[in-house]
Structures are given as C-alpha cells and as structure tokens.
Structure 1
C-alpha cells in the first residue's frame, strides 16, 4: 500500500531495476547556486533519492525509490526553506512508456508555461529606480541639497531597502531560519547594514545635514545612496536574468505551441471537430491542405507533401501516400489526407521531443557539479571574509566608516549570481536552439561526451546511404530499338519487391522528365498493358507486354539462376555478357537480366544511393577532428564504393558485419584507445549505440535506436549529425566561458573590495553586470546556425 500522499504511479513508469521512478518538481524561492546545493543535499539525505535541481527552470528531476512518497519530497524541500509542487508531467525512465493517457501532452504544455518572475520584479524595480535617482542626486551633488536633506534621503530610501529589496530579505530570513546562507544573505546584510548604519548616524547627530553641502560630522558618513543603488542594480540584474531565462525557454514553448489544438475526426463517414487530445489510437482523422497534423499516424487515404521542418529541421517537404507514416505537429501542404492515429498524448514524437529537451535542461554536466560544490561553501567563507575585513581595518587604525565601507563592498561583490547561472542558462539556451534545429540533447553529460569523442562509427544503410535502391546503369545487348527500362517497369509494376519498386520509380522519373514512356504507350504516357504476369519470390517476374499497336513481347526480369532456365537456347548470355554482369556486381551494384521473347536483351544495375549530404557531412565531421569509420553488413565491394564516394579511408571500412558484430567493432575501437561516437537508425544499431561513448540516433530510424542514443537528430542527413556535435561543443564552450568569468569576477573582486578600493555602489553595479554578461553570453547560442 502507498504511503499517505503518494501519487499513484503507472506501472510503465516504474523501473524494474530497483523499482525507481522519476518525479519532477516545481520549486519556488531559489535564487542562487547555494539554494540549488541546499535542495539537492536535503533531498539526497532521503535513502535512495537522487536529485538534480535546475536554477533557471526552478525545477528538480528526482529519482525516487519505492516507498518514498511525493509528499515526503515536498516536505523535505519545505524543510529546506522552499516551496515545491509535483509537475503533472509523465516522465520516461528506461524503455518507451506505453499505455499513457491521451491528452497528457497538454499537461506538458501547461507545465512549460509557468509564470516567470519578470512581472513580479518589474514593479519593485520601477519603484527602486524612481526613488534611487533623487537619493543619489541629493546625496552626491551639493547643489541639489537643501536643509535637512539627510532626513529626506532616509525617507526616500526606506521603500527601496524594504519593499523593493524584500525578495532578498525574505530569502535571507528563510535560509537563516533553516541554518543556511545564500547570495541573498550577502545582499540583505549589505543593504540593511548600509541603511541602518546611516540612520543611526543621522539619529545620533540630527544636524549633520542641516545645511546644503554641509560637511559630514560625528562618527561617520551616510550610505543611503549605497543601499538604494545596490538594491536597484541587483533588482535590474535579477529582472534581466528573468527575461533572459524566459527567452532561453522560448524554443521549448514554441515547439509545444506548434502542436494542433483540434482534429477533424472521421467516424462512419461523418466528420466532427474534437480537441486533438481526445484522439485515441485507431481513430481516423482528416487533414486538409494547410492544416497541422493532430498526432502521429499512418496515411490511410490520399497523397500530399508534408512540411516536416518542425521535426527534422529540413526545408523540403516530404511526399506521403497511402501507408506513409506522418508525425504530429507537421503541416499538410497540399492534398487531403485521412490519417489513422497511432500515437497520442505523451507518446507522440512532439511530446518525446519536449520531454528530452526538458530532461536535458534539468540535467547537469560534471562541470556544473564543480560550480555547485564551490557555491555550497562560498557564502560562509565570504561572511568570514567580511568580518575579517572589518576587524582588520579597525585594528590597522582605519575609521569606522572606511571599515564599514570595505566590509559592505565585500558583501556585495561576492554575490555568486553569475556562478549559479553559468551552466544551466547555457544548457537551457543550447538545448532550446537544438530543438529548433531538430536536434535533441538527452542530457548535460552529452556535452562532455561530444568534446571527448575522436572516432565516429557510421552505419551504412539508412545513415550514409538512403537504404533505397535506385537504377544506376542500363546495358543493352544488340537491341538498341528496345526501351529496356520501360519494358522492365511494365512487368515489375505488379511486384512489391524493392528491386521492382526501384525500376518502376526510375521509369516514372524518366516519363516525368520527358525521356521515357513515349513509344507504344497507352493514353500517351502510361505503362503498356501486361497480361500473364507471374512472380517468383527471390527470382524474378515475367509477363507479356501488349503495346497499343497490338504488338506483344514476352518480358522476363530476374536473377541469373532464375532466368537462364527460361531462356531459349540461342538466347543465353555469352561469356562477355556474363563477365559484364559479374563486373557490375563486384562493383557494388545489384544487377538483373532483362530478356525479351526468351532472349537476353540487356541488364539493369541498381545501387543503394548515397544521401546527397553524406559526403559534406563526413567532411565536416573530419574538420571537427573525428575519424569516420564505416560499418555495414554488405559485401566489401559495396562498402568500398560507398566509402570512396563519401571520403572514408579504405582501412576504416568494416564490411560483412552482422548486427551482433556491430557492438564488437565498437568495443575493439574503444579497446584501442578511441572515444567512439556511433550514428545509426535501426533496431540492430541499438546495442552499438548503447555501447558507444556517444550514441547518435538518426530521426528517420526506430524508437529503439532513439532510446539507446544520447543525441538524436530528427532528420536523416549526416550534415545534421555534424551540426549536432558542433552545437554541443559550442554549448560546452559557452558554459566554460561563463564559469571562467564568474570565477574570475569573484576571485579578483573580493580582494579589491577588502582593500577598500571598491565603492559598494560600484560593486553592486559590477555584480549585476556579471550576471547579465553570463546570460547574454549564453543567449548567443540562440543564433547558432543562423
């Protein structure tokens, strides 16, 4: 029985290994990396619980063992001083989740629309800015002063250091109540100390600002302007951060917004409009030109071109006909389609993309863990430095105002905002941009992996080549008046074999270009009639082709061992023709004989075509420092031809590899010291994808391949693989730059402030600027590839 407060867990979400599950939490009140560390530490004290907390998203991804309830997680976060609630989002853990409820995609969508702090911060910032200007002018410019101006400044500063600065004070108080300290502790102490110290000075000597331009007297000066300027700068930094975080998450929101809101359901020939989330597998729905396809499915009627750029990142539309799979959120551009729903709700490709992007943004790379560990001890050390600075200045004979100024400057300059934002905002922007380009980064660890890999193993069929045969050569033997392709296509039209489809497609292309289909055809362009059609599995086809003129020819198309017994004695291929046939096949083609009236008339050679972008993609991979290795189950001749065409060295070709042997090849490369990436698209690639240091699934492939990979490109072009690695490495580079500047800022700033060389107002401006610099640097990723 579940413990009280436990959310019922669907069986599909429970991992068989340890019966663990994934819970996502929304967490309110976190402001810096120290908050992140505290929440992770508190949750980690629950036996078996592992948490990864994301500051920009204000969320946590928690792996929870059986017996730990959601309420226990929420209570633990509350005990740390923050508010949490469970996200209503189904999260996969392990194999593809099945049996999920229809309509859950909308819950993912709603979860992505959590209100940001932009609107909440803006009024406080506006009040602070409006009051800070007169406070600074009166305090710093003698000509702007008047009788008892200090009291007026104190009154103007009061709303700023109380109401405007309340987010800092509240967070500091909550953390102090739980025995902790964060960046807000530093800000709150600095602002409060500046104001209270100044107010006490004014109370002790009420006449210290009696006259304009009057020299400060008594035990020290006034720092009202310091308190308000620091508050305003920090609020401005927070507001800019909040805006940037919102922008960085726009890619995920835009992705989800592309989903269809309604569907035209077709039942018993009657159409009705229903919410898209109400569709269930097996439903038929109509998609008219210009409409968004409501969910993943299979075309049952109609033909059209579908704009798949939202999923694949490719601009050219994909042609679909009866039996073609289609993806939800893509757009029907031309004909009317009737689609049978196969996946709905959280099972759709769009939902899976959103889930992977969200998981990637919540995850942490090892480099981020370093920042978290440092920030966990940073604030207590800073507070100690503040006390030491004040005492040192006093011991060395410094005045109380100078000691106070140095201590407050240390407090302000030390705030680790930039440190806390350096990694998660960079990852947020990078993975968001990736989703727009059809690239899904499964987790933060992938960024480290892409930097380390030096070898990329490429499965040939479906990755380097299209996996579809195409007519490569036509050889005619003494029958130049015969159109072999047209005659062969006429009889092959009745077959479903891939070779037959390739020949028919070649003739269709010739007709479309005005080359073929011009002699003896019905209706001025179609294939001639065929009677007596017969097909032999694995052998060939035969039939009688009847021209418009009434002339008929018996045509056979097939392999050598099938066709030779059916030929007339004087129609057999001679030695030269047999040698040519063998040469075509040894060159990597699949060849078939064409016989007319029981005599060999020629041969057709077909090949698996190399994808248009493969050579360029491999060149880009080489430029990234990767050694491409070709892996295929085809014979050595085919593999060598493909490798030569795309620029892979002959010694890096592994031919005749069975599916189970792909893992062995990857292991051998790893044993030789290589860090291996593997790109594939089929079920038989999944074990090798999982074995590789970095698995890259091509989006045209199977769900099993995508589940085994860390990186998924939704297109089927190797150029997109290169783009994915470039984006991952660029994201890691941005994060490293962020961390460098965050560390450098604190390392340089604290000693300068401790020496009394930094005014607290300047320190506040610099601290806010450092956070904005980190966020702005991360947002450069949103322009990647443009």
Structure 2
C-alpha cells in the first residue's frame, strides 16, 4: 500500500504536464528579457554597466520558475496522502485529477450499494414438495457455484442441517442460472429467462415471484425434469451509508446510475429505496463495459464503482474506476482508486478530495503566474520612470524564496481537508440471536464446547484482508471466526490447534503476533 501511495505521489497529473511545458518556455523567455533589460539600462544610463547588470540579474533572480514547478506535485502528494489517511488508495495523479470532472457515476449493486451477504427470506413450493426438499435440491445445485446468491442458499440449508446431494455435470449459464444432475434427474436453478428458455411452466408462481421482486428480493426458480418445484427468494441488505452517499453525489451535481444483473423489478425496488432514478437491470457480466462505453459516447465523464470479477472490464473502461476494498483481486487491480473501508461514502470523499486538490493546484498556478507577471516588470525597472521603483537582486532573491514557500504552504492546507458530506451516525444493530448463540457456545459434531481464542494479526489493511483471513481460518475443519479490522485480531472457536491457526493465517500472507 505504501509503495502504491508513493507511486501515485510521484506520478504526474495532466495539469502538471501543462505547468512543465510552461516552465520549459519560461526559462528561455526570461533569459531573453534579462538580456534585453540589461541592454536597455546600459543605453538609458549612458553606459552604466553596474546598473545594467543589476537590473538584468534582478530579473533572473526574481523569475526563478520554482513556484511553477512546485504548484502541482506538492498538492498531488498531499492529496494522495490525505486520501490514504481516509482509507482511499489513489493509484495515480491522473485519477485524482480526472475524478473532479466526473459527471456520471455508475454503481454496481451487489457488494457495492448492498452488503454483498444475501440471505434466504422466502420459500414457496408447489404441491407435493416440502420446503426442506426444495432447499436440499437448491443447495445441492448451488453448492459448486461461487455466486453470492448461491452461497446464501447453501448457508440456509446448512443452517437447517439439511444433507446435500452431490451434483454431476454442473454448468453455470452466465446471467441466467445453473443446471446439474442429482441422482439421475435433471435440475435447473435460475431466473425467469432460463425457465422460459427451457420450457418450464411457471403458472401462478410468476406473479408470486413478481411480488417478491417488488419488495427488493431476488426470486430464483427451481425445476426438476422440466417441472417447477418452487421459488426461493434471496435478499441483500442495503449498506447503511449507501442512501446518504447517493444523495451526496446528487448534491455534487453527479448523475447516479445503478447497474445490476438482477431482474428489473428487484433492481427498481432497490433504486427507489436508495433514491436512484436511473436503473439498468438484467445486464449480463460482459455487457457492463458496454454500458459504461455508451455513457462515454454521450460525452460524459464516467466513474464506475464495483467489486466483482465481472466489474473489472467496466472499471478499466471508465474514466475513473473505484473498487470496493473487500472485492476481488481482479477488480482491485483494474481500478484506479481503492475504497479500503468498502464504504460508498468514501467514493464521495474521494470526489471532494479531488475537487479540493485541483482547486489548490489552480490557486498555486494562479499565484505563480501573478507573481511573475508583477515581479519581472518590477525587477526590469518598468515602473522606474513613473514611480522610481527598481528592485535590487537581494530583494528579488527574497521574493523568489517567499513565492516558493507560499506555494508549498498553500498546498499543505490540504492536510486540513475534511469531507463536506458525511453519513449520519447509525447505531449498531444487535447481532442475530442464532449466530450469537453459536458464537458463545460453539460445539463440534459430538456436542463438545470449544474455547474461544483471540489471534492478534499484523498486516491487515482493509476489508479485502479481512476476507482473506476469514477464509483462511474458516477453511479449517469445524472452525468459526470473526475478524476485527480495527482491533487487528480474529476471534476463533473450534478444534484447531494454535499451530494450525498460525499456519493458516501466515499462508494467507499475514503475521500472527500472539494467540490468547
């Protein structure tokens, strides 16, 4: 992370390249002005070489282009550092500059505006099929899938201690669902489009699914040998700060677009809850980039916020890509900015920081140009015939130094930056009863309680690290884990030995300080 911050601080923004071009022309022009000044004074004073040289040297001394050279890089350095302090990793100066001009921001739904941890809310079955039977089939079908909705169904079945059946011939159909064979029968799991393609009659369950979608839930259909078995609805909770962040974007004059592969009714319900007027739903993973490109074709500067592998092309295509810190490695690699706290409000802060930084750069450049516009004529003696003013080289050197100090001091004001838009304080929700009970008295298969252990871990920087550590620890047989980023620790419970716990964390790329 430190290396990326250093790289961003040392990279050049487009506005810095403009300053470099001006500085490249500035030096020969100033040398010419100094020579002309010396010649004019030599003629005007009847050959007084001392006064002529004094005027020429004063021009050279006062017009040092240091202020021009410092105007941009110091502000960029402070801006990227301030971003890191706020949990915003800015990979390049160009991204920091471009972000201030963004007029449209595209938000992925799952994991960006929602928690990315969906849960089963409703189970509706056809006659002759019980909820447990449907869950068994659904979880067995979805077990090989890595989709968040699939994980929610599997978790629900495991929570009810429903045994699963091995799936054969598993096939994921992008944007539609999955198919597999269970004990000799062909099963389907997916959205309405998949069922219609396979000729599965939905009957009255289509209206029931539409009603679930209107409530912001995602209905999934399940069928056996071409016959509908039932519908399972899965819902993902909206992040507490998402609505405030979207309102802040509107206040900044930025249009918000919600982009999702979910069905239109569910997406529209989430959009209404968040106050988003433009919702693009039922988008296949490979089409997200096309949506961003289409907005750019309309002449808009577009930012994209996402977290998944299927968001990576869109993140790369956008003028500025912002990745959620708890997202996939591919998404983080494709993005220009990483929101390490996985909070959409940090995207608002990034925009405000970009605007503040570019405003600071423009102030510095304005000061540098004004200083030279006044200082050079004063040193050349332009005002001498009228006011009798002529600057000595000594005062010119002092003025030059003060101009550079002024630019640096103004840039350092960015360290006082505070976001204008902040999310309202949200009280912590009480933990669900079942997980809390499981946490307080975890048991293995034989009903034996395990003692909780606290592992102090060094090296965790963001929610992405939390996900890595959690996956490593829960991958141990019978082990449960809760990872605390702020506390730099993990609370675990299970049969694993200290050596096994330490090995799991270290293999994930982190250092174990102690196990208590």
Residue 375 of structure 1: aligned partner: 23
Residue 151 of structure 2: aligned partner: 498
Residue 777 of structure 1: aligned partner: 410
- Whether the 8 Å contact between 1:468 and 1:608 is mirrored in structure 2 is yes
Runs of 4+ in 1 over 6 A off after TM superposition: 575-579
Whole-angstrom distance in 2 between the partners of 1:656 and 1:633? 4
Deviation by residue 1:552-573 (Cα, 9 ceiling, x = unmatched): xxxxxxx999xxxxxxxxxxxx
Deviation by residue 1:325-366 (Cα, 9 ceiling, x = unmatched): xxxxxxxxxxxxxxxxxxxxxxxxxxxx22321221221122
Over 3 Å counting, the alpha-carbon distance change for 1:404 and 1:679 in structure 2 is same
Matches within 5 A, 1:188-203: none
Find the partner of 2:400 among 762, 767, 782.
Answer: 767
Residue 669 of structure 1: aligned partner: 295
Q: What is the count of residue pairs matched by the alignment?
A: 354
Find the partner of 1:534 among 153, 163, 178.
Answer: 163
Residue 170 of structure 1: aligned partner: none
Q: Is residue 467 of structure 1 aligned with residue 126 of structure 2?
A: no
Deviation by residue 1:548-602 (Cα, 9 ceiling, x = unmatched): xxxxxxxxxxx999xxxxxxxxxxxxx9999666522443324699xxxxxxxxx
Find the partner of 2:217 among 572, 589, 595.
Answer: 589
Q: CA deviation at 1:381?
A: 2.6
Whole-angstrom distance in 2 between the partners of 1:778 and 1:504? 57
Residue 174 of structure 1: aligned partner: none
Q: Is residue 707 of structure 1 aligned with residue 333 of structure 2?
A: yes
Deviation by residue 1:750-781 (Cα, 9 ceiling, x = unmatched): 00111152243332222111111111111112
Q: Is residue 692 of structure 1 aligned with residue 325 of structure 2?
A: no
- Whether the 8 Å contact between 1:469 and 1:502 is mirrored in structure 2 is no
Matches within 5 A, 1:588-737: 588-590=216-218, 606-649=234-277, 652-737=278-363
Over 3 Å counting, the alpha-carbon distance change for 1:688 and 1:770 in structure 2 is same
Q: CA deviation at 1:684?
A: 0.7
Whole-angstrom distance in 1 between the partners of 2:152 and 2:349? 34
- The 3-state SS of whatever aligns with 2:28 is helix
Whole-angstrom distance in 1 between the partners of 2:205 and 2:94? 57
Point out where structure 2 has 5 or more consecutive residues left out of the alignment: 125-130, 144-149, 168-186, 190-202, 222-230, 420-516
Q: Is residue 448 of structure 1 aligned with residue 101 of structure 2?
A: no
Residue 56 of structure 2: aligned partner: 407
- The 3-state SS of whatever aligns with 2:316 is helix
- The 3-state SS of whatever aligns with 2:118 is strand
| Higher RCO, 1 vs 2 (CA within 8 Å, ≥6 residues apart) | 2
Q: CA deviation at 1:452?
A: 2.7
Greater radius of gyration (CA): 1
Please report the TM-score for the alignment, with normalisation by the length of structure 1: 0.41
- Whether the 8 Å contact between 1:390 and 1:406 is mirrored in structure 2 is yes
Deviation by residue 1:635-675 (Cα, 9 ceiling, x = unmatched): 001100111111110xx211110001111111221222222
Over 3 Å counting, the alpha-carbon distance change for 1:360 and 1:746 in structure 2 is same
Matches within 5 A, 1:183-582: 353-397=1-45, 402-470=51-119, 498-500=151-153, 533-535=162-164
- Whether the 8 Å contact between 2:55 and 2:379 is mirrored in structure 1 is yes
Output the aligned Cα RMSD: 3.6
Whole-angstrom distance in 2 between the partners of 1:414 and 1:364? 24
- Whether the 8 Å contact between 2:263 and 2:281 is mirrored in structure 1 is yes
Over 3 Å counting, the alpha-carbon distance change for 1:592 and 1:424 in structure 2 is closer
Please report the TM-score for the alignment, with normalisation by the length of structure 2: 0.61
Residue 569 of structure 1: aligned partner: none
Residue 197 of structure 1: aligned partner: none
Over 3 Å counting, the alpha-carbon distance change for 1:502 and 1:620 in structure 2 is farther
Over 3 Å counting, the alpha-carbon distance change for 1:684 and 1:581 in structure 2 is closer
Over 3 Å counting, the alpha-carbon distance change for 1:452 and 1:587 in structure 2 is same
Q: Is residue 751 of structure 1 aligned with residue 384 of structure 2?
A: no
Whole-angstrom distance in 2 between the partners of 1:577 and 1:370? 62
Whole-angstrom distance in 2 between the partners of 1:627 and 1:429? 28
Whole-angstrom distance in 2 between the partners of 1:466 and 1:628? 19
Whole-angstrom distance in 2 between the partners of 1:585 and 1:367? 47
Whole-angstrom distance in 2 between the partners of 1:653 and 1:537? 38
Over 3 Å counting, the alpha-carbon distance change for 1:360 and 1:665 in structure 2 is same
